[in-house]
Structure 1
Amino acid sequence: MINTPIRITPLLNSARSALLAGTFLAIAAPAVAATPAKVDFEPPQIDAQPVCEIRAPDSEITARWEGWNGQSLAGMDSTLVRRDMRRLMAIDPVQWLPVGEKVVALLPTIDATYDADKRLMETIEMRLEAGKASEVRADGLIEKALASTAAEQPQNQRRLGEWLMQGKGVAPDRDRGLELIVTAARGGDANSLLSIASFQQRGIAVPNWNVEPKMTVMMGFASQVGRLDKTICDRVVNIARAYRNGEIVQVDNQLSERWFRFAADLGSPDAAWSVAEMHLRSEEIAKNNDVMLHYLGIAATGGDPKVLIQLGRLYEEGALVERDLGEAEDLYQRAAASGDRTAMGRLALFLDGLRQANPARTDDYDKALTALLDLEDAPGWAYSKAADRVLTREGRWAGEKTAMDYYAKGVALGDPEAIRQRALLNIGLGDTGSFYAGIDDLIFSVEQIGRSGPVNDLIQANLCKAPDAPLVDRVAYWQSIAGAETQAPEPTLKEMIAQVKDGAAPTLPYHTMSKVLDHAQAVLPLDASASDLIALASNQNISAEEQTYWSLIADRAETVSPSDGKGWVDALGSNLALRFVDRFPQGKDAEAIALQLAQQGYGRAMVLLTKIAPESYPDEATLAKTFAPVIDARGDFEASLLALRNSDGASESEKAKLIRHARAATTCTFSEGMQMAEALAEQGSADQFSQWVRISKDLVKTESAWSHTNLGDLIMAHTAMLNEGAADEARNLWQAGYEKGDRPAVFRLMSAVEEPDTPGYDPEKAVEYYVALTERSDPEQLPSVLDKLADAQDDVRQKVETQVDTSALWLAAANAGSSEAMLHHARELRASASTQADINESGEWLRRAADAGSDAAMVDLARSLAFGIGASPDPEAARTWLQKAAALGNQDAVSMMNSMQIAEVPTQ
């Protein structure tokens, strides 16, 4: 089918013939600007078959000519060589000009028709594209071409005419240039015809041309179609683009799409991509998924990275085609193999996603990321990813410097995550200069990129990481910014599951994870294994959402095939694995998993080992020594404090490093603030302890009642390390805890007001606190409170008893199962008994107290049985109860047995 003429309509043939015969030659058409003509020029109705030579991707073209020896074109096709040169000059004319000039010098060796005229014209064109117009003009190359036989060929006439009109490489001569273009058009040059049509549309007078713009365009298009040869697709695409951009014809996207389809059917992957892209966007034409997929498949045969990426996305997302991650990866790999930056980035991100579900793919991801970084124009986000990988592989502290270098490169390219992460590393360095450099980056992130993450970082940094923290005014400012934003509610488990893909189970927030594990503990044995955990996927005793969550974990485990601690950590994920060993320390896999987590730097896992494997890890000192290298390289907050608590003999610089690491790693929670303060108190670091007390006082503002009491306890225990008002601060915190409803705070405050011989004695406050204690105590706690009340000052006790029904409280405690309360209630009933029924009820409560294990109740019951008080006399039963009481160490029972000459049962 090569070089086969295509039949165009008779009208068009007649018009072209008339033009060539001179029928339309006349005076110049009036120079009046007009809107683009409406031209209905349809693709030929033929059985289109692939005939076009597929243009290789740019990466392949550049690679081919970078490896060319510059000596020979043997075995190459002249048409395609020239096509490559045109593409290279479009990519980088300055770089490729030397190669192009060598090629045109050698083209006659493979193409006998490539004469001196062609070489001259292409030399001029390449030099002009490379910005060497002054050299072309100085050498008089265009004048030489005008004086040669090259000026007799229509295609050359157009190019020479354009250069003359532009004054490019030659003295400008607009009239002569336009005359040459008209001559080329009459000679049938398609581009000249379309140039004239463009002149007409813009109102430029064209001498000796009186053909209507519409007819000019049709003749130009007809000449573009020409013959079926290897380069017809390029020409047909020009027609499609003309209908799309609307410069010489009115925009007609439907007709443009049909011309692109015609070129695609003739074998052009680029045209096929244009068809697919129009349907993908569905902005210019109605979307047809079948058409889009068909032409996207054709487009992919050309190896264009952007096409392969788009097709890969369809397979990755399961959009319009059945989801196939393997096919998606193959397409991304093909695209990346071209060296295309976008394709290499897409592959890296795709593999990053795969490794979330299957850690075995991590090496593949690392290789793809490394290849991307080897590019001279690697994207900024790649440096952020590289830094993250360094911190994961080497550890937060061992990899800090290398990661900082990577982040710096990302920052230079404007990557938001690099800006944020470098800021956090700088803030963690601990010195003033680095801290404020980090703060500047975070403020930039807030102002230029977005608020949520960086704002929270700024709150934490000013609250507990600044050298002079807490900076309360700055904390308040950034908290007001954070508060001004609408906070999305925490997603439900069902919503989080709906968002995951590729087998990656969601990382659950703390409270959601706690609830899920509460339910797991309720249905699993204490020694549950990790396998038991993932078997919850089919456990009907938990919710459907939780079953789905565990099925995702099970799928990941099936992929990983765990056989040791590392495998289970990979399968469960570090967060869930840590929570598992915390909840199931007796579990079959607990030691192996905890050991792996400890090797990853998790201090909580290290501490758990003292419970899971006490023979190997009997105390914290053993842990600190065993995991010292791990803590130094990657220890988290808890691990750093573990080492600090056991740093006897360490140098001051080593201790300072551990404090710096803990400070950098903290998430600024109240719990961590307290841990930090306690560790610094143990070290005797008064200034640092005082600072973390101030930080904890700020953190406690939003905490629960008991947190205030605990902080008060810490301050009161170390008043010597603080200022003179420390004791008052502690009492104020107890008071805050009390006002928020904390029970232990009542005891702290009561101790200062209940004794008459103390400076703070205040019977009214003591009454208030006793009443509060009775209200805040659970039934099992009531006996100790009521006993304490019984020993209180008479006036205090009496006033309390006017406000509180102590008998009802004793009964509530007895009903809750307190043996002490049962005994007290029995004695109260006996003391106030007025009927035999009252005595019998007292005896029943006495028996219940004895059955519940009260040795005193056993003695009272023995007396009742011995003398028939509230029960039928039963000396044998009395002896039995006395023996039981004596066995529990009750001395009254021992004395009674001796007096009754009853053999004592050995104390248990």
Structure 2
Amino acid sequence: MDTWAVQGWPEGLSSATASRDIATLRKENAAEHVALILRIIAELAKRDPKFVGKRALLAEIEVLRAAGADQDIRARQLVPELAALSNGTSAQVSRALARYYGDGLGVKTDPVLADQYLVTAARLGHPDALLTLASRHSKGTAPVQWDMPAKDSVLTAFKTLITPLNSGVCDRSSRIARAYLTGDLVQQNAELGQAWLRFAADLGDANAAWKVYELQRLAEEVLPDTQVRIRYLTQAAEAGLPFAQVALGRVYERGALVAQDLERAKELFTRAADQGYRAGLVRLALFLEDHNESFPNSGPHWHSALERLSETEDPPAWVFTRLANARLKAEKSPDAKIIGLYRKAADLGDREAMTRLAELLLSDRSIADGFGQAVDLLAEAVAVHGSTGEAKKLFDAYMCKSADSPHVDEALYWRAQYEAADPPLPQSEGDLIAALQSQALYRRHSALELWFPHVKAQNDIASVAFWDLYTQGFGQLLEQQAAVEADRLASAQWREDAKRLLTQIHDRDGTAAMMAFSNAIIMEGPALEARLIQETSQGSGAALRMLASVRGEGVHKILPPHLNDLLRKGDFDALLLATPNADRPLRVLDLAIGKMPCDFKSAMAVARVSGRVGAFERLAQFLEIAEHLHGDKPWALMHLGEARLKWLGMQEAQSAVQLFSAAFQGGELTAGKRLLALLQNPETPLYDPIEAGILQSKIAELTESL
């Protein structure tokens, strides 16, 4: 302590203060302060006649014991020296000697001698000795020289504990309370135990106040009283106990026992967190996350809580996931730190981190062994967490994302896994409704698109409100998408882009932002272009295409000012649009592939752009991938046939004929016309005027029927 920074006795210091300093330093860290404590003991012995001799020696032994210097105590024969100084008049010394000889501290263990000292201490009124002998008397193990009934021993000890009313009375009252609460020495009586705790608390003992709260919270053996519960919890919190601050903060956050007060809750969580209390940091971070609308400027405070929590021993996995999410949201582009944070969380078993890390690894083909690490993470998420969504991502990875995709067998295996866990909706109406509701509860996008119209048709306002709240405005999203669909828009591509943008904004910024943007689309006011520019800067390819339509210019003309943003933050559409204009088009094309949805349209889009930039290996690869994604849809078969002819030449004519034939049989009239042109062209190896005549008749019949 600063008081003892100089040698000698500090001016104006009392013996009582020096004794308190000895006790404080011993409790804080006896091993670190042992030399200083021994110096204070020596100085106190010089100045206080009451401290000379056995009291000073007892203090020295206790310090060495607390410092773990048992060998020193034994080597210097301090316990026998204390026994020689003891004349049976000090209860404190006798109780200490009983413990030393009983435990073998500094001397050979001697139970008989230990009992003699214990009885002496009890007869001198030492409360701990009295309570120890009462316990042993009840068990039949008391020394023969002790014949006081257990009840009398306890009552005598309690009287001794409660007087005098000095600084130790709170601890002594709590000792009495424990006796009544445990029933070890007296008949168990929780109400009396609570009364003694309240007595100690009312004298200022914060720990006793907390114990009163705990008794009230459980309310198993005492009468519950909300006012008592809150009063003592508040006292414990105001005294600075961090666990009490967290508990009281939760009370104010919920607003069940008291009026809700989020400001007060935040203050309490902050105070607990500022003490480095782990649960306080956890609660503060989650509180600011749950109530971000009430504290819109608390982002730095939230981030600081997460950072401090991440530096604690054994931090929870979700902390690293949230830190990575926040950094990714701000940067829009993953960096080594983001990947490192996700990796830490994934190593600790966090499912979200596994998925996000896998997505980042798949999004950049330049990462060494990124594909292998990604599929391992996704497979672990499926095996450990039973995640069907990750099984779908494994299908996507094997079919579309590997440098040498498609890995058809592996992809089909994982498709079977997620289809088995998430089967198609049943056909009968009753089963369909039940299945829709079940799957809607899991917030499946496809199920919600069918479920919301059903709920709305029931004219149950409460149900509509519940589902809209449960799905964070999904119903409003559907309504706005329908309004956009019905409006006079330039093209089908515009409508598709608009709906995609609405979904992106809803997922990122919430329902209110989505509604504002959809209204701007419908009104087509001056705010629309500004919002489209903003969304383009956020990396939206759909916004870029819509912006080109608003301005009546080609995408390639308005792309240059936005190119850097799109390369850094762009989604799949944006990266594809940027590829032909980039300095390193193949690198950007690979980044686009990393973010692509693994479906037929996306595979064909990659193939087309690959052809434009001369990446013919990628072109052939994604035409092959598209072969496994067309789902036998006639329009898809036709487009695939056209692409094979356009990019791979007439050597693919036979393959194109098969695709056109299948599409035409499925009712795609245009495919029949493409096939007819091949059969009528004498410059192709497929020239067949007879077959062409038969096909022409079929096309005519189909045209008439339409």
TM range (shorter): 0.7 to 0.9
User: Which letter maps to 2:614?
Assistant: G
Residue number in structure 1 paired with 2:570: 635
Residue number in structure 1 paired with 2:252: 315
Q: Does residue 339 of the first structure (1) align with residue 276 of the second (2)?
A: yes
Which of these residues, 467, 471, 476, is aligned with residue 407 of structure 2?
471
Q: Distance in 2 between matches of 1:81 and 1:252?
A: 37
Residue number in structure 1 paired with 2:432: none
- Give secondary structure in 1 for the equivalent of 2:146: coil
Residue number in structure 2 paired with 1:798: none
Tell me: CA distance 1:412–1:762, structure 2 relative to 1, closer, same or farther (3 Å). Answer: same
CA displacement at 1:521 relative to structure 2 = 5.0
Q: Does residue 404 of the first structure (1) align with residue 330 of the second (2)?
A: no
Q: Distance in 2 between matches of 1:73 and 1:365?
A: 48
User: Which letter maps to 2:283?
Assistant: R
After superposition, give the CA deviation of every residue in 1:776-810 in whole Å (9 maximum; x if it has no partner). Answer: xxxxxxxxx43xxxxxxxxxxxxxxxxx6xxxx8x
User: Which letter maps to 2:323?
Assistant: A
Which of these residues, 135, 139, 142, is aligned with residue 79 of structure 2?
142
Q: Distance in 1 between matches of 2:467 and 2:154?
A: 53
Q: Distance in 2 between matches of 1:94 and 1:484?
A: 63
Tell me: CA distance 1:126–1:481, structure 2 relative to 1, closer, same or farther (3 Å). Answer: farther
Q: Counterparts in 2 of 1:71-470, with a 5 A limit?
A: 71=6, 77=17, 81=21, 84-85=24-25, 87-89=27-29, 117-149=54-86, 152-200=89-137, 204-245=141-182, 247-248=184-185, 252-282=189-219, 287-355=224-292, 359-373=296-310, 379-397=316-334, 400-411=335-346, 415-430=350-365, 431=367, 433-448=369-384, 451-452=387-388, 454-470=390-406
CA displacement at 1:468 relative to structure 2 = 3.0
Q: Counterparts in 2 of 1:674-713, with a 5 A limit?
A: 674-701=604-631, 706-707=635-636, 709-713=638-642
User: Which letter maps to 1:515?
Assistant: L
User: Which letter maps to 1:475?
Assistant: A
User: Which letter maps to 1:634?
Assistant: K
Q: Counterparts in 2 of 1:576-615, with a 5 A limit?
A: 583-584=521-522, 586-614=524-552
- Give secondary structure in 2 for the equivalent of 1:323: coil
CA displacement at 1:330 relative to structure 2 = 1.4
What residue ranges of structure 2 are gaps of 5+ in the alignment?
Answer: 424-437, 442-447, 453-461, 491-501, 682-686
| Root-mean-square deviation over aligned CA pairs | 4.4
Residue number in structure 2 paired with 1:39: none
Q: Counterparts in 2 of 1:873-884, with a 5 A limit?
A: none
Q: Distance in 1 between matches of 2:32 and 2:658?
A: 75
Q: Distance in 1 between matches of 2:309 and 2:231?
A: 31
CA displacement at 1:401 relative to structure 2 = 0.8
Q: 1:146–1:160: 8 Å Cα contact kept in structure 2?
A: yes
Q: Does residue 734 of the first structure (1) align with residue 642 of the second (2)?
A: no
Larger mean CA deviation between 293-302 and 691-700 belongs to 691-700
Tell me: CA distance 1:337–1:686, structure 2 relative to 1, closer, same or farther (3 Å). Answer: same
Q: 1:151–1:160: 8 Å Cα contact kept in structure 2?
A: no
Larger mean CA deviation between 753-762 and 135-144 belongs to 753-762
Q: Counterparts in 2 of 1:428-827, with a 5 A limit?
A: 428-430=363-365, 431=367, 433-448=369-384, 451-452=387-388, 454-483=390-419, 485=421, 488-491=438-441, 507-508=472-473, 512=475, 514-518=477-481, 583-584=521-522, 586-614=524-552, 618-647=553-582, 650=583, 654-701=584-631, 706-707=635-636, 709-720=638-649, 726-727=655-656, 730-731=659-660, 734=663, 739=666, 758=689, 760-761=691-692, 763=694, 767=698, 785-786=703-704
Tell me: CA distance 1:752–1:249, structure 2 relative to 1, closer, same or farther (3 Å). Answer: farther
CA displacement at 1:106 relative to structure 2 = 6.9
- Give secondary structure in 2 for the equivalent of 1:360: coil
Q: Distance in 2 between matches of 1:764 and 1:250?
A: 102
CA displacement at 1:273 relative to structure 2 = 1.9
Q: 2:86–2:94: 8 Å Cα contact kept in structure 1?
A: no
Tell me: CA distance 1:757–1:412, structure 2 relative to 1, closer, same or farther (3 Å). Answer: closer
CA displacement at 1:644 relative to structure 2 = 0.6
User: Which letter maps to 1:516?
Assistant: E
Q: 1:706–1:742: 8 Å Cα contact kept in structure 2?
A: yes
CA displacement at 1:517 relative to structure 2 = 0.3
Q: Distance in 1 between matches of 2:32 and 2:669?
A: 81
User: Which letter maps to 2:121?
Assistant: A
Larger RCO of the pair (alpha carbons < 8 Å, separation 6+): 1
Q: Distance in 1 between matches of 2:481 and 2:38?
A: 77
Taking structure 2 as the reference length, the TM-score comes to 0.77
CA displacement at 1:332 relative to structure 2 = 1.6
- Give secondary structure in 1 for the equivalent of 2:369: helix
Q: 1:300–1:308: 8 Å Cα contact kept in structure 2?
A: yes
Q: Distance in 1 between matches of 2:109 and 2:537?
A: 77
Q: Distance in 2 between matches of 1:371 and 1:268?
A: 30
User: Which letter maps to 1:490?
Assistant: A
Aligned length: 648
Q: Distance in 2 between matches of 1:495 and 1:644?
A: 46
Tell me: CA distance 1:464–1:521, structure 2 relative to 1, closer, same or farther (3 Å). Answer: closer
Q: Distance in 1 between matches of 2:485 and 2:615?
A: 44
- Give secondary structure in 1 for the equivalent of 2:298: helix
Q: 2:660–2:672: 8 Å Cα contact kept in structure 1?
A: no
Q: Distance in 2 between matches of 1:622 and 1:722?
A: 36
CA displacement at 1:222 relative to structure 2 = 4.0
After superposition, give the CA deviation of every residue in 1:461-519 in whole Å (9 maximum; x if it has no partner). Answer: 33332333333433344444444547952247777965999xxx96455xx45522046
CA displacement at 1:271 relative to structure 2 = 2.0
CA displacement at 1:303 relative to structure 2 = 1.4
Q: Distance in 2 between matches of 1:274 and 1:414?
A: 36
Q: Distance in 2 between matches of 1:201 and 1:485?
A: 63
Q: Distance in 2 between matches of 1:383 and 1:687?
A: 39
User: Which letter maps to 2:596?
Assistant: T
Q: Distance in 2 between matches of 1:439 and 1:282?
A: 51
Q: Distance in 2 between matches of 1:720 and 1:146?
A: 107
- Give secondary structure in 1 for the equivalent of 2:397: helix
CA displacement at 1:419 relative to structure 2 = 4.5
Residue number in structure 1 paired with 2:445: none
Q: Distance in 2 between matches of 1:486 and 1:262?
A: 61
Q: Distance in 1 between matches of 2:224 and 2:541?
A: 56
Tell me: CA distance 1:724–1:329, structure 2 relative to 1, closer, same or farther (3 Å). Answer: same
Tell me: CA distance 1:394–1:608, structure 2 relative to 1, closer, same or farther (3 Å). Answer: same
- Give secondary structure in 1 for the equivalent of 2:97: helix
Q: 2:64–2:73: 8 Å Cα contact kept in structure 1?
A: yes
Instruction: State, as a whole percentage, how many aligned pairs show the same letter.
Output: 27
Tell me: CA distance 1:726–1:523, structure 2 relative to 1, closer, same or farther (3 Å). Answer: closer
Tell me: CA distance 1:590–1:121, structure 2 relative to 1, closer, same or farther (3 Å). Answer: farther
CA displacement at 1:413 relative to structure 2 = 5.4
After superposition, give the CA deviation of every residue in 1:153-200 in whole Å (9 maximum; x if it has no partner). Answer: 323332332232222443222222232222222222222223234445
After superposition, give the CA deviation of every residue in 1:124-177 in whole Å (9 maximum; x if it has no partner). Answer: 334434443333333333333333349753233323322322224432222222
User: Which letter maps to 1:673?
Assistant: A
Q: 1:598–1:605: 8 Å Cα contact kept in structure 2?
A: yes
Q: Distance in 2 between matches of 1:154 and 1:181?
A: 9
- Give secondary structure in 1 for the equivalent of 2:260: coil
What residue ranges of structure 1 are gaps of 5+ in the alignment?
Answer: 1-64, 528-549, 551-565, 774-784, 787-803, 810-908
User: Which letter maps to 1:88?
Assistant: E
CA displacement at 1:641 relative to structure 2 = 1.4
Q: Distance in 1 between matches of 2:404 and 2:88?
A: 81
User: Which letter maps to 1:668?
Assistant: C
Q: Distance in 1 between matches of 2:513 and 2:160?
A: 68
Tell me: CA distance 1:340–1:515, structure 2 relative to 1, closer, same or farther (3 Å). Answer: same
User: Which letter maps to 2:606?
Assistant: M
CA displacement at 1:281 relative to structure 2 = 4.0
